[in-house]
């Protein structure tokens, strides 16, 4: 837009001021650049300051580079206008260039901007001046313009000066210029025809239109006067035709040619919304005696953790606490606003609906979640109760910090003290670096510093949980210490536990009995044959790998009885120094998976002749481990599909000896396939038994992974015996991040939960996401399918059985899980013993909590100081990191090419597109990746190793690197070192902190990516990259 209007560095405006002259202020103070820095590489403006000896030359070059930026066509005009408004607020340049003020809008200047090439070609400045001179309304401006034109000899600059004067000429003046273009007779009749076609294209039947327009200007239509319903109409009539009416803010004058009827005022809208949202009949909260007991501490205004079994009605208790809080605030004349949080989005709608049933008669209840495109702050301010996931609130509280170093962007800090009460559902999650814990860190900082807006107070904190847990405690005192940690984190000195009405509690919340069904995997001969063959394949691959390693002479081999700890520190490029430990004999034990992970790090941090081949064998062994687990959990058919698909995908990059070894065992594995499993048969047996007792039953089956949930649901849905009885199965898993696709996925997941509640779905296979809070009254059976974790989950899963005579059963073929379940029961008993010690005051619980709170505040301060120190140390180190593919060590980019967007890290170097392959997600992967905005996978073009995902950011696909897919190469004390980090937080802590993602980065990557077309095979993989 700017170049077309002639705002070049040497061009002058009508008032003799050019844009570049205003940019000279940045020569002495680059910090005032604001969002102009977005158009150029990081640090470019500061570098220009150093390169040029005077402000004028600096500004000239700066404006040239701004106009050349890839962002210029879309954003330069707006950013220059914002810059002028701050720097030259009272100057004439801003008002002259503005196209959004009333004069500019009514002059129809946008027509000129949209058709600038035609105007520049056909406008004759002399004829325009002669015509405008004949119109009395333009006299003053035209005389000044004529004098300016007499001093200019360049025809192009004369045309630009005339066009830039249009906003000053006023209403419809652009059409006057079009009229002169239409009526001008050129020596070449073809040019005259082209000029008239140009005008007719903008406004068909132009002469007729211009005639009507001229008549409109001679005899303008009237105005409307708007009187709000809250004002006196007589007062308006008395003031009609007087200056008093123009200055009266209560009345609005509307020029019907330009303005629409106004919306009703804010006051009337509030009244209407208030009536609409308060027409519901009150749902009385009737509490049982044990529920009243659990509310007592909270109603006294104290922080507390409400601990009661699943099914005891904690949501009703929360509704009662909230209602009392709102009522007391109204009585005391105080503001109140509540926040109710759930640890995941699955139960968000359920909890919001339950609370709304009791509160909607007087209070506005609103869900906030990442997938919704709504103004979060405005939603919070306009509602009484917000139901949200904790990460939404953490992001909101930290939003201002993203711009704290930019003086030109002002994002007001959101304070947690906006809420007067906060309820943490499933509050046992308030530990380590969980979102709940991060919210409480913000709370502790407010409490200890007192930094919050005037009139704000610390919110009351309420926790809800069925199980406080005991962590790693071995005895009652250690268990008490664990509970005290949680209480201190939540600033709680008094627990709310049923003591007086235990009998009533047991009556309404009976303990669901635990059962265990152990299925010996050895009885399934086909699956056993598959597992044995696959283990033999793994052993053979291990031998191939060991031979490759021994041939290099770079590693010291260690036996299986050596210590588990490996020295896998950074190694030198010219020599590999490390210890390679022989693999464990037990291929399906987690120790084997740990061995693979440790040695993948060791190989990634080494460079030797066969490192790529060794690494690909480790990847095959890792996939083989998961295949063994798939075989154990499901059947050999599903396991075969898993390993076969992986090997087919990897074949193009595999070493010939690896391919020969696979083909040797592939045929045997394909012959050992079946679709049965004793554990699945046991699940079906329990479902049929339940159906025969009550055909309106519900069952939840918990499983470890999302892939497992999808697989088990598919298998159960295919079993004819269940299909005959219309026992329909589906699955749910966790969803976190926000996007349009995620919003749809959340709706689909909620539909599954609704169908499960109503009975069209009888069996729900779920990951841990459904452990907490999912409330289905008719749930009769809870199955833990080869899955056991800790004592908290043990209680939570058992509590999903809500119907009378419910049962909970662990079905497993793993002896270690059988032992874990026994340990969970022991820990559950230990937790109750610890609670008794606290309640009977055998220890001074309050003192323990108080001392832990002091330690928490010290830790928060230490963490903050350490983080600042790390960033400063990284800036001072000046180390340059190369980002390499962990498998083939191909150079992908430099650390300076990495950009951060929240917790995702993108490569923003256009050359990166040439180094990768794009691979489409499979249908199951696509569903899982929706939470991240994932659009596909990216692989190293050299070795096909996975590098991360394609993520959609602001409607543009960007390559997002996975930390465990890359290796850092850097130089320390003249030595080249390699380092692999499993998580980005380790890279941030120990190596470098990326710059934030900017609009220029996105646009640059988009421009290069547009030039790519892809050839895709039947599996959805990219075969070739073609350039336009």
Residue 834 lies in a domain: no
Instruction: Show Cβ contacts of residue 350 under 8 Å, excluding neighbours closer than 6 positions.
Output: 753, 773, 774, 775
Integer-rounded Cα radius of gyration of the chain? 36
Is residue 8 predicted with pLDDT exceeding 50?
Answer: no
Rounded to whole angstroms, the Cα distance separating 792 from 789 reads: 8
Single out the residue in 803, 824, 845 at which a domain terminates. 824
Whole-angstrom Cα distance, residue 804 to residue 781? 10
Residue 283 within any structural domain of the chain: no
CA 241 → CA 222, 236, 246, 252, 259, distances in Å?
13, 10, 9, 13, 20
Q: What's the rounded mean pLDDT across residues 939-959? A: 88
Residue 343 and residue 319 share a domain: yes
Q: Do the Cβ atoms of 72 and 66 come closer than 8 Å?
A: yes
Copy the structure tokens of residue 890.
């191909």
Is residue 858 assigned to a domain? no
953/1006 same-domain check: yes
249 shares its domain with 326: no
Range of the domain at 772: 514-519+677-824
CB-CB contact of 503 with 473 (8 Å): no
Residue 58: per-residue pLDDT: 92
Give the residue-averaged pLDDT of 943-958.
Answer: 88
Confidence of residue 16 (pLDDT cuts 50, 70, 90): very low
Residues 216 and 243 in one domain: no
CATH code of 625's domain:
1.20.1320
Does residue 857 form part of some domain? Answer: no
Between 280 and 377, residue with greater pLDDT = 377
Residue 606 lies in a domain: yes
The number of distinct structural domains making up the chain is 7
pTM of the model: 0.64
The most confident of 251-255, 397-401, 414-418, by mean pLDDT: 414-418
Do residues 663 and 681 share a domain? no
| End-to-end CA gap in the chain | 27
pLDDT in tens, 595-628: 998 888 888 888 777 888 888 899 999 999 999 9
**Same structural domain for residues 125 and 232?**
no
pLDDT tens for residues 244-285? 776 776 776 666 554 544 444 444 444 444 444 444 567 889
Q: Are 1016 and 1023 in contact (CB under 8 A)?
A: yes
**Coil, strand or helix at 219:** coil
Are the C-beta atoms of 345 and 750 separated by less than 8 Å? no
Residue 123 and residue 90 share a domain:
no
Give which of 753, 699, 704, 750 is closest to 722, Cα–Cα: 699
Identify the residue whose tokens are 């599909």: 641
Tell whether 112 and 247 lie within a shared domain.
no
Per-residue pLDDT at 418: 95
Q: Is the pLDDT of residue 119 over 60?
A: yes
Strand order in the sheet with 882-885: 891-894, 882-885, 966-972, 975-979
Cα 31 off chain centre by: 30
Regarding whether 591 and 489 lie in a shared domain, the answer is no
Q: Which residues neighbour 85 within 8 Å (Cβ) at sequence distance 6 or greater? A: 94
Is residue 855 situated within a structural domain? no
Is 275 a member of any domain? no
Which residue would you say has higher pLDDT here, 268 or 319? 319
Average of per-residue pLDDT across 84-110: 62
Please calculate the CA angle 731-732-738 and round it to the nearest 5 degrees.
145
> Domain end: 824, 848, 866, which one?
824
For residue 549 the two structure tokens come to 């390693």
Higher pLDDT residue, 820 or 908?
A: 908
Judged by phi (left if over 0) then psi (alpha if -120 to 50, else beta), residue 190 lies in alpha
pLDDT exceeds cutoff 70 at 929: no
Q: Is residue 261 part of a domain?
A: no
For the stretch 821-828, contacts whose Cβ atoms lie closer than 8 Å and that sit 24 or more positions apart, written own/partner, are 821/514, 821/516, 821/784, 821/788, 821/794, 824/788, 824/789, 824/790, 824/791, 824/793, 824/794, 825/514, 825/791, 825/794, 827/469, 827/470, 827/473, 827/790, 827/791, 827/794, 828/467, 828/791, 828/794, 828/795
What tokens appear for 403 in the block? 């711009």
- CATH assignment at residue 992: 2.170.150.30
In the predicted model, is pLDDT for residue 30 greater than 90?
A: no
pLDDT at 263: 45
Last residue of one domain, picked from the residues 212, 239, 256: 256
**Cβ pair 908, 956 in contact under 8 A:** no
Q: What percent of the chain has pLDDT over 90?
A: 34
Distance, CA of 945 to CA of 612 (rounded, Å):
10
Assess whether 308 and 417 both reside in one domain: yes
Instruction: Answer yes or no: do 168 and 191 share one domain.
Output: yes
Instruction: Report the C-alpha gap between 799 and 412 in whole angstroms.
Output: 43
How confident is the model at residue 91, as a pLDDT?
A: 59
**920 pLDDT tier (thresholds 50, 70, 90):** confident
Residue 708 sits in a domain whose CATH number is: 3.40.50.300
Report the pLDDT value the prediction gives residue 79, as an integer from 0 to 100.
80
pLDDT at 163 over 60: yes
Name the band, by pLDDT with cuts 50, 70 and 90, for residue 770.
Answer: low
Average pLDDT over residues 761-770: 84
User: Do 655 and 539 fall within a single domain?
Assistant: yes
């Amino acid at each position: 837009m700017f170049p077309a209007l002639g705002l070049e560095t040497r061009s002058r405006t009508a008032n003799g001021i050019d844009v570049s002259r205003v940019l000279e202020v940045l020569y002495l103070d680059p910090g005032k650049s604001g969002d102009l820095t977005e158009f150029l590489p990081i640090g470019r403006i500061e570098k220009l300051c150093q390169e040029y000896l005077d402000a004028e030359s600096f500004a000239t070059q700066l404006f040239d580079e701004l106009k050349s930026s890839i962002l210029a066509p879309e954003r330069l005009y707006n950013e220059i206008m914002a810059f002028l408004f701050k720097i030259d607020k009272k100057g004439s340049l801003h008002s002259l260039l503005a196209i959004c003020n009333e004069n500019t809008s009514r002059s129809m200047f946008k027509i000129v901007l949209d058709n600038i090439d035609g105007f520049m070609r056909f406008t004759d400045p002399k004829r325009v001046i002669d015509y405008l001179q004949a119109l009395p309304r333009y006299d003053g401006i035209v005389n000044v313009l004529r004098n300016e034109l007499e001093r200019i000899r360049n025809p192009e600059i004369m045309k630009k000066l005339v066009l830039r004067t249009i906003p000053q000429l006023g209403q419809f003046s652009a059409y006057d210029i079009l009229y002169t273009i239409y009526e001008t007779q050129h020596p070449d009749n073809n040019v005259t025809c082209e000029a008239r076609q140009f005008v007719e294209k903008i406004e068909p039947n132009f002469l007729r239109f211009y005639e009507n327009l001229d008549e409109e200007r001679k005899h303008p239509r009237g105005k409307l006067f708007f009187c709000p319903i809250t004002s006196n109409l007589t007062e308006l009539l008395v003031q009609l035709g007087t200056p008093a009416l123009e200055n009266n803010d209560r009345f609005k004058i509307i020029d019907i040619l330009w303005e629409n009827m106004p919306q009703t005022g804010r006051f009337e809208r509030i009244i209407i919304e208030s009536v609409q949202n308060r027409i519901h009949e009150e749902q009385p909260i009737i509490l049982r005696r044990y529920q009243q007991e659990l509310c007592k501490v909270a109603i006294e205004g104290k922080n507390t953790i409400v601990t009661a079994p699943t099914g005891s009605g904690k949501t009703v208790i929360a509704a009662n606490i909230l209602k009392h809080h709102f009522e007391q605030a109204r009585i005391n004349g105080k503001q109140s606003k509540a926040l109710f949080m759930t640890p995941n989005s699955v139960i968000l709608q359920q909890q919001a609906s339950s609370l709304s049933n009791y509160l909607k008669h007087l209070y506005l209840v609103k869900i906030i979640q990442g997938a919704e495109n709504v103004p979060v702050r405005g939603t919070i301010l306009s509602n009484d109760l917000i139901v949200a996931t904790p990460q939404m609130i953490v992001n909101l509280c930290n939003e201002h910090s993203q711009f704290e170093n930019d003086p030109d962007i002002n994002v007001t800090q959101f304070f947690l003290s906006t809420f007067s009460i906060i309820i943490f559902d499933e509050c046992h999650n308030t530990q380590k670096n969980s979102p709940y814990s991060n919210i409480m860190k913000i709370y502790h900082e407010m409490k200890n510093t007192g930094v919050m807006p005037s009139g704000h107070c610390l919110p009351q904190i309420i926790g809800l949980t069925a199980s406080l847990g005991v962590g790693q405690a071995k005895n009652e005192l250690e268990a008490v210490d664990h509970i005290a940690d949680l209480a201190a984190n939540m600033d709680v000195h008094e627990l709310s536990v049923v003591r007086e009405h235990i009998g009533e509690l047991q009556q309404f919340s009976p303990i669901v009995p635990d059962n265990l069904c152990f299925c010996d995997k050895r009885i399934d001969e086909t699956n056993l044959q598959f597992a044995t063959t696959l283990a033999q394949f793994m052993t053979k691959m291990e031998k191939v790998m060991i031979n490759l390693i021994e041939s290099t002479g770079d590693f010291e081999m260690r036996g299986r009885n050596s210590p588990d700890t490996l020295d896998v520190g950074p190694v030198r490029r010219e020599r590999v120094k490390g210890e390679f430990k022989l693999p464990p004999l037990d291929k399906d034990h987690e120790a084997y998976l740990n061995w693979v992970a440790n040695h993948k790090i060791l190989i990634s941090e080494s460079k030797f002749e066969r490192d790529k081949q060794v690494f690909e064998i480790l990847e095959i062994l890792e996939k083989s481990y998961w295949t063994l687990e798939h075989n154990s959990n499901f059947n050999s058919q599903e396991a075969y599909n898993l390993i076969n698909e992986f090997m087919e995908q990897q074949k193009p990059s595999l070493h010939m000896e690896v391919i020969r070894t696979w083909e040797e065992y592939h045929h045997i594995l394909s012959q050992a396939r079946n679709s049965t499993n004793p554990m699945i048969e046991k699940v079906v047996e329990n479902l049929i038994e339940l159906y025969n007792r009550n055909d309106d039953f519900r069952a939840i089956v918990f499983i470890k992974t999302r892939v497992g949930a999808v697989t088990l649901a598919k298998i159960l849905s295919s079993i004819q015996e269940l299909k005959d009885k219309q026992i329909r199965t589906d699955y749910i898993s966790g969803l976190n991040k926000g996007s349009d696709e995620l919003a749809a996925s959340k709706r689909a997941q909620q539909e599954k939960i609704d169908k499960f509640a109503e009975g069209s779905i009888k069996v729900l296979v779920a990951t841990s996401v459904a452990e907490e809070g999912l409330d289905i009254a008719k749930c009769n059976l809870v199955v833990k399918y080869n899955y056991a974790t800790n004592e908290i989950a043990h209680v939570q899963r058992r509590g999903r059985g809500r119907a009378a005579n419910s049962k909970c059963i662990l079905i497993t073929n793993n002896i270690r899980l059988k032992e874990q379940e026994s340990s969970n029961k022991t820990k559950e008993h230990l937790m109750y013993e610890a609670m008794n010690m606290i309640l009977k005051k055998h220890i001074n619980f309050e003192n323990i909590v108080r001392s832990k709170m002091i330690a928490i505040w010290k830790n928060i301060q230490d963490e903050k100081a350490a983080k600042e120190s790390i960033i400063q140390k990284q800036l001072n180190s000046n180390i340059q990191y190369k980002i390499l593919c962990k498998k083939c060590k191909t150079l992908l980019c430099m650390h300076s090419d990495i950009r951060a967007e929240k917790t995702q890290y993108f490569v923003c170097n256009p050359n990166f597109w040439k180094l990768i392959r794009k691979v489409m997600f499979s249908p199951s992967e696509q569903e899982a990746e929706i939470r991240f905005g994932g659009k596909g996978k990216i692989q190293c073009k050299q070795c096909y190793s996975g590098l991360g995902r394609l993520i959609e950011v602001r409607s543009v696909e960007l390559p997002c690197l996975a930390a465990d897919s890359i290796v850092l190469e850097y130089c320390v004390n003249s030595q080249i070192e390699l380092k692999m980090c499993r998580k980005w937080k380790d890279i941030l802590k120990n190596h470098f902190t990326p710059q934030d993602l900017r609009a220029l980065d996105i646009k640059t990557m988009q421009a290069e990516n547009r030039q790519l077309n892809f050839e895709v095979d039947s599996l959805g993989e990219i075969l070739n990259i073609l350039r336009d």
